[in-house]
Structure 1
Amino acid sequence: MDLTFASLGLSDARVSQLEKLGFTAPTAIQAQAIPELLAGRDVVGQAQTGTGKTAAFSLPILDNVDTTKSVIQALILTPTRELALQVCNAMRDLSGDRRIGILSVYGGSAIDRQIRSLQRGTQIVVGTPGRVIDLLERGNLKLDQLSWMVLDEADEMLSMGFIDDVEKILSQAPKDRQTAFFSATMDFSIRQLISKFLRDPVNVSIKQPKATPKQINQVVYNVPRGWTKAKALQPILELEDPESAIIFVRTRKAAAELTSDLQAAGHSVDEYHGDLNQSQRERLLNRFRQQQVRWIVATDIAARGLDVDHLTHVINYDLPDSVESYVHRIGRTGRAGKAGTAISLVVPFERRKLQQIERHVRQALRTMPVPTRAQIEARQLEKLKNKVLEALSGERLASFLPIVAQLGEEYDAHTIAAAALQMAYDQTRPSWLTSDMPEEDLSGTPKPKLIKRGRQQVQSEIVRGPAAEPQEVKS
């Protein structure tokens, strides 16, 4: 018998709202966590992003909120403003009840406005630890009637240095509350918090489904010895041509340098890091979701809140330190039945880490050499051919026919078409793909070339000669 939301114990009103939203069957984390939370037990859930954990803790809370009381009954902590807004919006959708007040509080936004919203009364608060502490200290956020407390993305919260704030908030909440922790990983510090603040919790662990080729195409590109990753990435991007991608790097410095290189080469890319203020981050996220920016370079921590439905590629420029983080990263693509691609750049000293990932996902990942010049040019010509096919059905085609007729008095049609294609190709051909670059393999060592960008000339790392093998940097 297939599980339904009704069979988990949710109310008819909640099930009806889920049906309106198009949800008919619970995910694995929802099937296991919802009955335990409805029964009043504390829950520790280990699950990756994209498994439905937001609904897993939201639905039991929404089903039990007392709409006759305008006091805070549930508090959900998230590591970032973006995730707080995401959870808040999701809970409002799942609620469908205007009597239930759901408020998000976070830094970088006017605290006075948030205070006024609290004074008007709300039942559920979703917020970041720092802003929650500020409101507690001002006396505007009162937890004396709190019934539920949730830590979402607990591992990221602690890795961002919020452990003291989290402990302080947990200590001020009523001891008879119901508590749930949800995290992709469970390290020692999280287990300590669980032991200290949860009462005989039920453990729910959902393994990330193995990525099948139909869902996520996992590809490894070996970076040749003597090459930098930045140099190897450029031909890979030209061949793969991601529609939208997150490129994961280890440090903010690496994000800034790689973004600068890719922008200099003419790509639509921007960096996302903790140094951006809230308005800058929000503006970039909107541009990315509206596909005004195709690619974002980010660290793991900064990338929280960057979940988007249209993400086609995840690129591991730097492999993560843990195999769990690898699975967490690639799980951002290939969602909702759509195809996705996960690309990893691997230098020789990372081979051992790659073997650990392969053992974890229980499959050998497809390994590819860096694309050759011939492969990239073939890809460029294929894209040009597709553009020509689109133009053949375009409305503006007739305006160019007189020019063709005039040229046809001296040249045949095939020659004219070939010349037009050559002009179009030369305009779109990658500037770093120079004519003196070896035809058979890009692993040669072409001389440095200047890439023109407006009035500036930048000597991109992408086309530099051989560099010393990079050393692994821990952060």
Structure 2
Amino acid sequence: MKSKLPTEWQELSDQLGFKEFTPIQTQLFEPLLAGENLLGVSPTGTGKTLAYLLPSLLRLQKKKAQQQLLILAPNTELAGQIFDVCKTWEEAIGLTSQLFLSGSSQKRQIERLKKGPEILIGTPGRIFELIKLKKIKMMNVETIILDEFDQLLDDSQIHFVEKITHYAPRDHQLIYMSATAKLDQEKIAPNTRTIDLSDQKLDNIQHFYMQVDQRHRVDILRKLAHVEDFRGLVFFNSLSDLGSAEEKLQYRDILAVSLASDVNVKFRKVILEKFKDKQLTLLLATDLLARGIDIDSLECVVNFDVPRDIETYTHRAGRTGRMGKEGYVITLVTHPEEIKKLKKFASVREIVLKNQELYIK
């Protein structure tokens, strides 16, 4: 596959230390380059963004037409992340992209459109607003990519997605990507080829459970924060538990911050950067974030509660052990039934915390 890339990209992949392409990147390349409608499924952390980006960017015609490629993401974190990856590869071959997020200045975004980007990346609500204002003109869009399509096609976002695709030319290419194959076939365009690599075993991620009394769960987070070199992304099933845990941890001087959905875009970015730079020990989040965060070499994901279903567990776990690196997941459990449920999601072992150290039982 590398030999089929432009020289600029071959040099860039050497600089970035790409030794080999992942299975999803290799299998999607030719069909996407040929303009096929495609549904790609592969575990989180296996390089799905580049799998669709590289062939899609190669299909674009520089300076010929603005707004040729549209990439939709279900939340601001994921859209921002795609934008960052896209910039690295587009600049090398003379293309430009722009990012469109709800919660950011619409006026500034309209100004950026005047620069004539070939690639548009954003959340469905804001993209549709700009289409209605006739600022985004869909007649040149040849490809639409739905990253985390299962979220984009659920009840809260599908009406925007359907309206957006309705404005595109009839013969546009549609690409659906996700880590889980949970989908309603009726929502997928006809003549869509499926490449499903979801059964890849990610041996680099270890899965554990820790038995703890309900009332001691926040205290366990505090103790984990004192483990040497520990850094954890902690997922909560409920916003009220998240808010309460943040308050208690900060009161005990733990470097813990929540990334709740009401935090504005700019501040969310600051929080994420601090966590990436290891200035924060615990980042607290709900499942909104599970899809949109890529932290290089994140050591640990902690489930404050047992996730509701296997899809949720998969997406949370996929925040660690990315691109073949080591990682582990710890789920806090109180009742034997929770362990039973957890064993349906992953092969788990018990782990205990003693004297600021973790031991596998």
Q: Secondary structure at the match of 1:345?
A: strand
Query: Over alpha carbons, which structure has the higher Rg?
Result: 1
Q: Distance in 1 between matches of 2:102 and 2:212?
A: 41
Equivalent position of 2:129 in the other structure: 134
What does residue 344 of structure 1 align with? 331
**C-alpha distance in 1 between matches for 2:80 and 2:123:** 10
Aligned counterparts of 2:155 and 2:246: Cα–Cα separation in 1: 23
Kindly tell me: are residues 222 and 14 of structure 1, through their superposed partners in 2, closer, same or farther at Cα, counting changes over 3 Å?
same
Equivalence for 2:212: 223
Matches within 5 A, 1:31-430: 31-97=26-92, 99-159=94-154, 161-189=156-184, 191-194=185-188, 198-207=189-198, 209-212=200-203, 215-224=204-213, 227-228=214-215, 230=217, 233-234=220-221, 237=224, 240-241=227-228, 243-348=230-335, 349-358=337-346, 363=347, 365-368=348-351, 371=353, 375-376=354-355
Q: CA contact under 8 A between 2:83 and 2:98: conserved in structure 1?
A: yes
Separation in 2, partners of 1:330, 1:254: 20
CA distance in 1, matches of 2:155, 2:253: 33
Length, aligned pairs only: 357
Structure 2: which 5+ residue stretches go unaligned? none
Going from structure 1 to structure 2, the CA distance change for 1:281 and 1:159 (only over 3 Å counts) comes to: farther
- Aligned partner letter, 1:73: Q
The separation in 1 between residues aligned to 2:199 and 2:160, in whole angstroms, is: 30
CA 1:59/1:161 → structure 2, altered by over 3 Å: closer, same or farther?
same
d(CA) in 2 for partners of 1:336 and 1:355? Answer: 24
- Partners of 1:355 and 1:94 lie apart in 2 by 40
The one-letter code sitting in structure 2 at the alignment partner of 1:5 is: K
Shift of 1:79: 1.3
Which structure carries more strand by proportion?
2
Deviation at 1:293, TM superposition (A): 1.6
Q: Aligned partners of 1:52 and 1:128: how far apart in 2?
A: 21
Name the aligned partner's letter for residue 218 of structure 1: H
Q: What are the within-5 Å matches in structure 2 for residues 443-458 of structure 1? A: none
For residues 79 and 246 of structure 1, the distance between their equivalents in structure 2, rounded to whole angstroms, comes to 20
List runs of 5+ in structure 1 lacking aligned partners. Answer: 381-475
Give the aligned residue type for 1:216: I
Structure 1 160/286 Cα, relative in aligned 2: closer, same or farther at 3 Å?
farther
Task: Map Cα deviations across residues 259-310 of structure 1 (whole Å, 9 max, x no partner).
Answer: 1122222211011111112232122222222222211111111344332114
Give the superposition deviation at 1:159. Answer: 4.9
| Matched-pair contact (CA < 8 Å) for 2:73–2:124 | yes
Residues 140-191 of structure 1: CA distance to partner in whole angstroms, max 9, x if unpaired? 00010111110001223345811111111111111111110001223344x3
Relative contact order: is structure 1 or structure 2 higher (C-alpha 8 Å, sep ≥ 6)? 2
Secondary structure of 1:115's aligned partner: helix
Equivalent pair of 2:305/2:332 in contact (CA under 8 Å): yes
Distance, in Å, in 2 between the alignment partners of 1:76 and 1:281 is 21
| Distance in 2 (alpha carbons) for counterparts of 1:84 and 1:231 | 31
Deviation at 1:71, TM superposition (A): 1.4
* 1:26, distance to aligned residue in structure 2 (A): 1.4
- Give me the whole-angstrom Cα distance separating, in 1, the residues matched to 2:117 and 2:106: 16
Q: TM-score, normalised by structure 2?
A: 0.90
Moved more, 134-143 or 283-292: 283-292
1:38–1:238 CA distance, 2 compared to 1 (3 A) = closer
Alpha-carbon deviations, 1:3-26, whole Å to 9, x = none?
x422xx444554344334332421
How far apart are residue 240 of structure 1 and its match?
A: 4.3
Task: Specify the code of the residue in structure 2 equivalent to 1:357.
Answer: F
Q: What code does the residue aligned with 2:224 have?
A: L
Q: SS of the counterpart of 2:40?
A: strand
Identity of aligned residues (%): 31
